Structure formats: structure tokens, C-alpha cells
Structure 1
């Protein structure tokens, strides 16, 4: 149960809720112990023919009173114990989500969404069961077991009690062995569920691609395989439970058999009364639940332990990109915008090949740098390093003459308007997508940003305009509209630095010219980095660099690079030819 140690602060904070709940639980168990004595006394009165109408009424009222208070106290312990377990579920889910927000980009390169969703659902639910029903069963079993045995010994017969409990040592051995097996197999079942969730999530997200390539049947086969694996892993767990629980019941049945045989002899020999024998059997009936509950307790706790260990692995993962207390200057709250890449080299974690090699660039405040190059040349990596989605391997990136690591992450990213290649939009309104980067914004700000991104007219054509709800990842918009909404989302922040990573590839030439014209006005007072494949997007930049295999192979203005007749010139000629062919068609 060492995996639950990470929850000790929660249990300490809510200890009184658990204590009060357990007190009510003990009260129910005590009331349950009274009923056998009432039945025993009633049986002896019947046998002795000493019962009266008044005494029958008293017996009936006593049973009703006990039943009522058992009902009341059961309600109370459920509210306190089970309710607190729900608080734990809420806390774990909130903590897990907050931790997901802190983890670095690289973590999500190696962990699938479906797996993380399984942690947030099944695993947390298993921990809640351990912290609610599991704790109830532990105390219910201990209290009811010990109190019942005490009543059997003190009020009826020591010998009969000892004989009735002879099978219990075998129970201890069984629970120890089966508990380990349940833990191992439940963990495997949870891992299989994660894989199944990954499969479903990925297929739903990529359903349009699946349909376009007519791969429905193949994906069904893959899902069937994952689904069958999940069933197989659960069946392995069920087989253990199917053996364990009946074994527990079998052992409790042996106790009944022993009591019936030996107890009957004691009654015949007048060593105990018939009423005592009835009461003893009632107590033994009360023992059936705690004995059976041992199996349930082991099952629930081992499931919870397996899930908590999986959650602890996530909580133990530290984000790679953090504010370093020794480096960060908390007084740095503004950014002017001068950028310098100083002997920058970078290798992705877990790889050996350099993606960027000895990059040296200086972008004065208010100037525009354009980056062009083949796919995989390191263009996106360069700007990802600027916003610290990764940290540099060698060299340094400076903003306003300071290492970017000295800026608080929040300040750094708040002053950079970044439009990535993947124009991710949320399943909410267009207004909320544009204003996403601000805690408070006005309709006027939203409309201005949309107008600057040349998407305002498109939005006004929608029936609900800015209240238009987008599908998952903005699927209800065209590629060009998604790009322009993403640009608007960056512009509304009024950033000191604007980064556009191939953000105009899905718009037509006319719209591109209109956007660039508006952006040219906006860029006068801010530093800008534009990554693009189309030369038309880059021509007006103050400096253009050409990347190839992570190195700067050419740099200069558009005119200068054309005179060189190198990589840039070849790319420009190729695009001119493509345009001529397209116009002829």
C-alpha cells in the first residue's frame, strides 16, 4: 500500500471526516450485534413459554428501533466516508489536469492522449473505490469481526468460538497470495485499457483520413485486436477473482458446518441453551460478511494500489522546461523585442543528430526576419526554441540582450504571438478562440484582431458570426480560415514579437497579399519572424535566411539573394514556373 503514501496530506486534511464516518460505521456494527441477543432471548422465552403480548410488542419495537438507527447511521457514514472519497476523486483529477498543463512539450511526444485519458478516468475511479468502499470494508471487517468474536466468547461459548474460527488462518494465507496476483493482473488490465482508449481516440480524430483511404475495415480489425486484448487481460483478472471469492465463501461455509455439528451437540448435552445456539448462529451469520469482505477489501485495495502507482508515475514526472529560481529575474516583466541567436545548436532529446548547427542571427527591435528552407531543415525548431518549448543544447538565445532563461516563462510567452504550423482551434466559439490568450477582452478587440487577420468578413457571413461554435480542432472552418483565426488569436495579444510559422500556406494569393499588407503596418513596431515556403510571403522582410540541414546557407535581402543565384534563387524560379503553369491551366 506504499503507493497511497502520496495521498497522506489529503487524508490528514480530511481525517475528521473519516473519523466521524468510521464512528457511525462502528455504531451500525454495534447495533448489528444487539439483534442476535434479542433473537436469542425471544427464542428462549418461546421455548420456556414465558412470552407475553407485552413482551412480544417490546421485542418488535426493539427490532424496529435498532433497524431505524442502523438506517440513520448507515446514511451518515456513507455521507462522510463515501463523500470524502468523492473529494479525493475531484482532487486527483484536478491535480492530474494541472500537472498535464505543467509538463513540457516533449512529454506529449512520447505519451498518447488515449493513455492519459485512461489515467484520468479508470485509474482515478479505482483509487476512489479504495479510499471509499475500501476503507469502509477495512473498518467494517475489523470491527464487526472482533466485536462478533468477543460477543461469541463472552456470552455463549469459548470452545464453540475457537472451533468455528479454525479455518481463518487459511484465509490469511489465501488473501496474501491472491492479493499480489490481483495487483499484477489489474495493472495489466489498466494498461490494456489505455491502449484501447488510444486506439479509439486516434481513430475518431483521424476519421476523415480513414474514410478517404477506405481503411474502415482495417481499423475495425485493429480495434477488435485491441478490444480482445482488453477482454483477455480482464478475463485473467476475473479468473483470479472467480477462484478467490468462492474460496472465501467455502471457508465461511466450513465454519457454519462445524458450528452446526458441534453446537448441536452442546445443545443436546445442555451445555448451552437453544436461544444461545440461535444467537451464536446469528453471530456466525454476521461473520460471513466480514470474512467475504476480506476478499473484496484485498481486491479493491490492490486495484487502487495498481492505479495509484500508475498515477504516481505521472506525478513524479518533472517538466523539462521550468523557471530556474537561480536564473530568473522576477523584475523582468516587459520585452522590447530585440532577438539574438548566438552560436545556437540543438539536438532533440533522445537523439544524436543535430537539427540546428551554429546558428547566429540578430534581429533588431521592430525588424522582420524571414526563414525559408526545405522541409526538415530546422525552421520550426528554431522558433520553438525561442518560445522555450525546448531548451537549447548549445549556445544561447537572447532577447533584449538577456538570456531567455532569465525571463519568467509566463512573461516570455505572453510577449510572443506565436502562430504554429498546426492551427489548433478549440471546440468553442470563434470569439473565445480569438481571445484565448487574454483573460479579459472586449468585442472591439476581437473584431480588430479578426480584421487585421483578414477573416472578419468570413466570420460575419456565418449566421452566428463570432458566436459560431467550431467543431473539434476547428474542423468546421476551411484551412485558410483556421490559419487566419489563429493569426487573429496571436494579434489580439498585441505582442512585442510576432512569429508566423508557415501561417499563410492555405490562403489564396490575393488574401495573402491583403494579410501581408495589414501585417506590414502592424510589424513596424514589433519584431517579426516569418517562416514560409512561398517567396511572395518573404520578399519584404528586412533579412531573409535560407536553412538547409540545420545550417544557414544563405542570408540577405530578397534582392541580394536573387543576385547570388543560389538556393533562394532556384526556389524563386521554381515557384514562378509553377505559377505560370497554374495560370495557363
Structure 2
């Protein structure tokens, strides 16, 4: 259970409620134990009346008294059982809540490279299905475990005190049942682990299918996807059936052992009664009730083992991610002011997941308030510069300075809080357009939202929707066109009013006229703010204070539009080609 030690901190957090739950559980079980002995006494009263040992009125009085005690004990037992569930089971829900929050917080804390190595479906399964398995350990397993211990501690001594020989025979099948259930539970553990692992695969496949449904429809891949789902469903069915076949042995075995124990009680108890070794037939009835009370706890031993094993497997999967250390850490506790000067000094960077060297000994300076455009072929390293500026990755060699301070010596939240980034693949949340824009500034007023949308030249489009700014977008903003998504993302960055803007080819899906209007608005909005613009279009770069030309991770050219256009090279060639395309 070493993996489950992680949950102990939550047990300590809710120790008082758990202690109350344990006390209430013991009380509930003690009241349960009242019934068998008073059933015995009731039968003895009947025997004494039939044997003429007591009068009818006394027999009636005693029977009524015993029945009231049995009913009262049953009601009190039920009441305390309800309280037991309200304490221990509720605590398990609190622990589930806390653990899910812990996992989710850690997910957000992890660096970008973690998400490149792990699939969304697997992440979701660990925070839902696996946490659910751990909750079973923290709630039902704990509750039934206490219940089992209490019953064992109380019933077995009572049975041996009442009739030792009968108790020995009655209890013979129960250890056998426990061993059999334990063996079944081990098989259940192995097979349930396989089922849990498969659920991650299935979650990943369905999540990717729903996210990429437009591609599936565009390529008419529905039959192929249906076929793949059929294969996965068949595999899932087979794994679940393997688990169900083993689970099917659980209750039949329990019923069989109950039956054997009851047979022993009736046969051995009957012989003892006939031989005068026990005083009343009521003892047999009492023992039958004890055996039935003990059977479930004995079976529970195996079931609890299964729960603990499944929880152990699930917590191990959770711990694998919780033990992941982010490659990007905040090294400075206090906030640090950001003005906007950015300097790359002999920076080289290689992506760990692909082993592609994106930047090779790059050096340049962006002064505070400057606008710098970055151009180059696909894979030249343009987006990498923006990622490194936001410190989504740390460089392999060289150094990045912000305001003449090494980037690692800046408070990470201060750095990113002063950056307004528009990624190449515009991502919008399944929320209203207004809230997507306000994601850049949570407390923004409606007028600020509209102003940002106007600067991003998307206001007119939004006003054309039936619910305007309250229009709820589909997943990943699928409701909007590519250009509209880009412009809403730009509005989200503009409303933040940061010190540094990072625009990663964010105008690729808009026409040239709209692009020109947006660029003019950006120029006004980004005045006295540092701006890095990655683009494939000269039109997005020509008005920049400086232009960087990258090729295969190296800095090929650097200068203004006029300087670069006056010399033969990548920029002048690109400018001529795009100018001729525009004229045509």
C-alpha cells in the first residue's frame, strides 16, 4: 500500500469526522448484536410456555418486551448506520474533491513538454476514473473495514461463550470463503487494471475523434472511424467480460458458504439440543443469525482487498504524474517589473521530444517599445523565439535577458502576466465571445471588450450574430471561421494591455485589407510596448522597427524594410514575389 500513503495527508485533514464515523460505526454494530440474543430469548419464552413452565400472560408480556427491544435496536442501528454513511462516505467525497483539485493544479503547473508526451484522454482518465477508485478506498473500504473488525471482535467471542463446539463448526467455512474471495480479488485486481488502462485508450480516441470531427467528415472517414471504434469496443467488451466472469463467482461462493455454515449450525446444534448440551432451540436460531451477520464481513475481507488493490493501481498511475517535475520553475518569489527590452545572446535550443534543433546560436536585441517582425521559411525557428520569450521552454545554451536581467531571475508570473500572446493556432474556449475576450482581462468592462473587438476588426462580425457578444462558441471556437477566431484571439491579447505582445502568424487567415486595418490598430495599441510579430507576409513586417530573417534556426538577415529590400537576399526576393502576386 506504499502508493496509497499519498492519501494519508487527507485522512489527517479530516481526522475528526473520521473518528466520529468510526465511533458511530461501532455503536451501529453494537445495536445490531442485540437482535440475535433476544431472538434466542423469545424462542425460549415460547418453549417455556409450551412446556407449561410459565403462564400465558407472562409469556405475552416477555415476548412483547423482547420484540420492542429488537425493533428499537434495529431502528437505532439503522439510524446510526445512516450517520455512519453521512460521516465516512462524505469524507471520501471531500478527499475525492481535494485529490482532483491537487491533480488538476499539478497539471497546470507542469510545463508544455509534458503535454506533448501525454494524451488528453489519459490525463482525463487519471483525474476521473483513477481518482474514483481511490475514493472507494478512502470511503467504502474504510467503512466496511471498521464494520468487519467490530463484528469479528464482538460476535466470535459471544458465539464461543454461548456454545464453543457449535461456534467452531459454524465458523469452519468462513476462513475458506475469505481465502477464496481473496484469490478471486487478486484476479479481479489484474483484470480491473487492464480495464482502467483501456479506458484511457478509449477516452483518448473518442476525445480526438470529437475534436477532429470536421477533418473526419471532410475526408469521408466515418466508415473507417466506425470500424476502429468497433475494434476498440470489442476489445473493451472482452476485457470487461473477463472481469465480469471473475466477479460472477463472488456472490455464489458467498451464498454457498452461508448455506454450509447454516447446515453445520442446524445439524450440530440439533444434535447438541437433543443431547442436552444446549438449553434451547433458540441458540440455533441465534447462531444462524450470527453466521449470516459474519458472512458478509468475511466476504468483505476479499472485496476490501480488491478495492485496496484497485486503489493502489490507480494511485500509482496518479502518482506517476504527481511526481513529474516541471522543467520550467519559478525561481523568484517576489514580483518583478517588466518594461519590455528583450535580448537573445548566443541562444541555441533543441526540442526534447523531436530532437530538432530549432535555434542555432541566435543573437539579437529588441529595445523597449520596439516592433520587431520575424520572417522565414516553415521550420526556421520563428515560433520558438516567441515560446522562449514567454519562457515556455528554457534554452539549452546561451542566455535570454529581459530588461537586462536573465529571464530565469524574473518572477515567472510577472513575466507571463506582462505578455499578451496570440498563438498560431488560435484557441478559444467553449464559452461566450465576451468571456473569451475577457480571458485576457477578467474584470474588463463591456466598453473595453467592444473597443478591443473593434481594434481587432471583429466587432462587425460579432454584431451580426443573433446573440452578438453572448454567442456561445463550440469546442475550440468551431462556431467561428479561421479569420474570426484569430481576430477574437487578438482582441483577447489587446484587452490585456501588456508590456510585450507576441503575435505568431495571427493574420494568416484574414484578407490583406483586413490585415492592413488590424496592423494600423495594432500599431496604435502597441505604442510604447514591445511587439514581436511572426509572419510569412512582408505586408505584416514592412512597418516594423526591425526585421529578423531566420533560416534553419540561424539569423540570416537583420534590418529595416528599406535596408533589407536594398540588398539581394531572402527578404527582397520575398517582397518582390508577394508584390507581383498582389498586382496579379
TM-score bracket, normalised by the shorter chain, equals over 0.9
> Bigger CA drift: 269-278 or 449-458?
449-458
- Counterpart check, 1:232 vs 2:235: no
Among 334, 344, 350, the alignment partner of 1:330 is 334
- Counterpart check, 1:91 vs 2:98: yes
Deviations 1:383-430 (A, max 9, x none): 101101111111111111011111111100111111111111111122
- Counterpart check, 1:164 vs 2:167: no
Alpha carbons 1:82, 1:132 under 8 Å: kept: yes
Q: What pairs with 1:264-279 in structure 2 (closer than 5 Å)?
A: 264-272=270-278, 273-279=280-286
Alpha carbons 1:183, 1:305 under 8 Å: kept: no
- Counterpart check, 1:145 vs 2:148: no
Q: What pairs with 1:229-268 in structure 2 (closer than 5 Å)?
A: 229-268=235-274
- Counterpart check, 1:369 vs 2:376: no
* Residues in 2 aligned to 1:517 and 1:456: alpha-carbon distance in whole angstroms: 16
* Residues in 2 aligned to 1:193 and 1:514: alpha-carbon distance in whole angstroms: 49
Among 437, 450, 454, the alignment partner of 2:440 is 437
Residue 222 of structure 1 is matched in structure 2 by 228
> Bigger CA drift: 537-546 or 516-525?
516-525
* Residues in 1 aligned to 2:515 and 2:61: alpha-carbon distance in whole angstroms: 97
* Residues in 1 aligned to 2:406 and 2:392: alpha-carbon distance in whole angstroms: 15
* Distance apart, 1:482 and its partner CA: 1.1
* Distance apart, 1:157 and its partner CA: 1.1
* Distance apart, 1:351 and its partner CA: 4.3
Structure 2, unaligned stretches of length 5 or more?
A: none
Deviations 1:48-102 (A, max 9, x none): 2135222232122122211211121111101001111111111111112211111
* Distance apart, 1:200 and its partner CA: 0.9
* Distance apart, 1:310 and its partner CA: 1.3
* Distance apart, 1:571 and its partner CA: 2.2
Among 387, 396, 399, the alignment partner of 1:396 is 399
- Counterpart check, 1:124 vs 2:138: no
Alpha carbons 1:415, 1:496 under 8 Å: kept: yes
* Residues in 1 aligned to 2:520 and 2:106: alpha-carbon distance in whole angstroms: 41
* Residues in 1 aligned to 2:166 and 2:61: alpha-carbon distance in whole angstroms: 34
Q: What pairs with 1:87-486 in structure 2 (closer than 5 Å)?
A: 87-154=94-161, 156-272=162-278, 273-324=280-331, 328=332, 330=334, 332=336, 334-486=337-489
Residue 15 of structure 1 is matched in structure 2 by 15
Change (3 A) 1:249 1:57: closer
* Distance apart, 1:12 and its partner CA: 1.1
Alpha carbons 1:164, 1:255 under 8 Å: kept: yes
* Residues in 2 aligned to 1:339 and 1:505: alpha-carbon distance in whole angstroms: 25
* Distance apart, 1:258 and its partner CA: 2.5
| TM-score (norm: length of structure 2) | 0.95
Among 534, 543, 546, the alignment partner of 1:543 is 546
* Distance apart, 1:248 and its partner CA: 4.2
> Bigger CA drift: 340-349 or 249-258?
249-258
Residue 501 of structure 2 is matched in structure 1 by 498
Deviations 1:108-162 (A, max 9, x none): 11111111111122112111122111111111111112311111111x2112212
* Residues in 1 aligned to 2:385 and 2:187: alpha-carbon distance in whole angstroms: 50
* Residues in 1 aligned to 2:288 and 2:528: alpha-carbon distance in whole angstroms: 89
- Counterpart check, 1:566 vs 2:569: yes
> Bigger CA drift: 175-184 or 360-369?
175-184
Residue 80 of structure 1 is matched in structure 2 by 87
Deviations 1:487-523 (A, max 9, x none): 1111111111111100111111111111111112233
1:319 is paired with a residue whose SS is coil
Alpha carbons 2:45, 2:63 under 8 Å: kept: no
* Distance apart, 1:43 and its partner CA: 0.9
Alpha carbons 2:116, 2:353 under 8 Å: kept: no
Residue 30 of structure 2 is matched in structure 1 by 30
1:540 is paired with a residue whose SS is coil
1:525 is paired with a residue whose SS is coil
* Distance apart, 1:176 and its partner CA: 4.7
Alpha carbons 2:125, 2:199 under 8 Å: kept: yes
Q: CA RMSD in A?
A: 1.8
Alpha carbons 1:244, 1:295 under 8 Å: kept: no
1:358 is paired with a residue whose SS is strand
* Distance apart, 1:196 and its partner CA: 0.5
* Residues in 2 aligned to 1:243 and 1:575: alpha-carbon distance in whole angstroms: 74
* Residues in 2 aligned to 1:331 and 1:389: alpha-carbon distance in whole angstroms: 18
Residue 60 of structure 2 is matched in structure 1 by 53
Change (3 A) 1:540 1:346: same
Alpha carbons 1:119, 1:310 under 8 Å: kept: yes
* Residues in 2 aligned to 1:2 and 1:140: alpha-carbon distance in whole angstroms: 24
Residue 4 of structure 1 is matched in structure 2 by 4
Structure 1, unaligned stretches of length 5 or more?
A: none
* Distance apart, 1:331 and its partner CA: 5.0
1:377 is paired with a residue whose SS is coil
| TM-score (norm: length of structure 1) | 0.95
* Residues in 2 aligned to 1:539 and 1:469: alpha-carbon distance in whole angstroms: 37
Deviations 1:178-204 (A, max 9, x none): 444333322221110011011111111
* Distance apart, 1:466 and its partner CA: 2.0
* Residues in 2 aligned to 1:568 and 1:439: alpha-carbon distance in whole angstroms: 40
1:320 is paired with a residue whose SS is coil
Residue 40 of structure 1 is matched in structure 2 by 40
Alpha carbons 2:266, 2:284 under 8 Å: kept: no
